[in-house]
Structure 1
Amino acid sequence: MNGAYDFSFCDLTLTALPQGALWVGDHRALCVSDLHLGKSDRIARRSGRMLPPYETRATLEKLDALIAVLDPGMVICLGDSFDDLDAAQSLSDTDHLHMATLQAGRDWVWIEGNHDPGPVNLSGRHLAELTLGPLAFRHIATQEKGEISGHYHPKCGLAGGGTRPAFLIDTDRIIMPAFGTYTGGLRANHPALRALMSPQAHAVLTGRKAMAVPLKAVV
């Protein structure tokens, strides 16, 4: 895929896609993290503050576009796929149909996150974590070798201001960027992330082109 970044991890070639998803070619698996579907609904319920209710549609359309190109046999949603369990229950009929279309004919895995700690009323496998060859997919990093996790929504600062979602990668782990449309993030140089990643780690910034930079150089 144009603009993607290939790298070696646990003796596999993985691909960081500029849209913020991870492609595991040996298993024809597409991994996305922190979709946070229904976030506008959850904010309205809890605070009364209204946001444009389009983030679920926009996130599903972005995922749909990747699936159309890659045709994965497996899709792994790496936790916090929904902003909370009530948001999962309140998806519109249109969004339910869209999800069902994306899932058709694929092994779809929902990893539990801290926002959605339990099964939702959608088909697919609902797991606390998934082992795929040498890889362990879970929502929050535990510092186990070979793990791929999300949760932190890492972002890197840009020259001139602004931030860009980023993958954090070292020899033992990958922390995924958030794929969802309405998501904040944690700076990649935050102490919590520095503590998880080795000094030799690098960040792969998303955008028009996936761009790798040493983690120690980002702001």
Structure 2
Amino acid sequence: MHHAFTLSGETLHALPSGALYWPARRLLCVSDLHLGKSERLARRGGALLPPYETRETLHRLEAEVDRTAPATVICLGDSFDDLAAVRGLEDEARLRLARLMAGRDWTWIEGNHDAGPVEIGGTHRAQMTLGPLTFRHIADAAQTGEISGHYHPKARLKGTTRPCFLLDGDRLILPAFGTYTGGLPTDAAALKGLLRQGALAILTGPRALPMPL
């Protein structure tokens, strides 16, 4: 139920969950997990949300890891809602992360919410280039062959709003994978300035559904 497409000569799969899979490299990529968001909001005196989003986000990530059996995992930044949220992780969540990371090349890309959760292992980079593709948190309009996150794009179809990938000939922007994450409409000025004419939104849901913007 994925949507296959080509970027910089490489075949990639947009998965219905909002994760990205690169079959040739056995690479799974997710963006904007925002683990610990409810804890961070409570700590800073914000809205009190049910504290289950970390558990749910890790459950969904585990499902994709089990399904794709990746050798490499890249998390495209804002993996935690802030660095203090790393320290606030429950032991169960730490163990689940450790099991997911075991035996895999796991890279945390720095985001604007977190500078890289150094204390939980993995590799930590500002950005990462593999072959013709560069993985970073925030898109750079001057670059090509780019995979990024940050904007949490969402598209509307038949009265329903869904997180979506955004794809043109130069770049792919991933949806937020985290459970408690808002979104930016695809017609927002920040996104219009990044995407070329003819860009696609690939909606998440029961299946990955491409739709012209």
CA distance in 2, matches of 1:136, 1:172: 11
Q: What is the match of residue 180 of structure 1?
A: 178
Whether 1:79 aligns to 2:77 is yes
Q: What is the match of residue 126 of structure 1?
A: 124
Which of 195, 201, 204 is 1:203 aligned to?
Answer: 201
CA contact (8 A) 1:88 1:120 kept: no
CA distance in 2, matches of 1:69, 1:49: 35
Shift >4 Å, 4+ stretches: none
Deviation readout 1:84-105 (Å, 9 max, x if unpaired) = 0000111011000000000010
Deviation readout 1:126-160 (Å, 9 max, x if unpaired) = 10001011000000001210010000000001223
Shifted more, 11-20 versus 110-119: the winner is 110-119
CA distance in 2, matches of 1:135, 1:125: 18
CA distance in 1, matches of 2:2, 2:14: 6
Determine helix, strand or coil for the equivalent of 1:96: helix
Amino acid at match of 1:153: H
Deviation readout 1:138-184 (Å, 9 max, x if unpaired) = 00001210010000000001223x31000000010001000000000
Q: What are the ranges of 5 or more consecutive residues in structure 1 without an aligned counterpart?
A: none
Scaled by the length of structure 2, the TM-score of the pair is 0.98
CA distance in 2, matches of 1:119, 1:71: 23
Q: What is the match of residue 33 of structure 1?
A: 31
Q: What is the match of residue 156 of structure 1?
A: 155
Determine helix, strand or coil for the equivalent of 1:157: strand
Scaled by the length of structure 1, the TM-score of the pair is 0.95
CA contact (8 A) 1:85 1:120 kept: no
CA distance in 1, matches of 2:51, 2:117: 24
Identity rate, percent: 59
Deviation readout 1:15-49 (Å, 9 max, x if unpaired) = 00000000011111000000000000000011253
CA RMSD of aligned residues (A): 0.9
Q: What are the ranges of 5 or more consecutive residues in structure 2 without an aligned counterpart?
A: none
CA contact (8 A) 2:108 2:116 kept: no
CA contact (8 A) 1:33 1:80 kept: yes
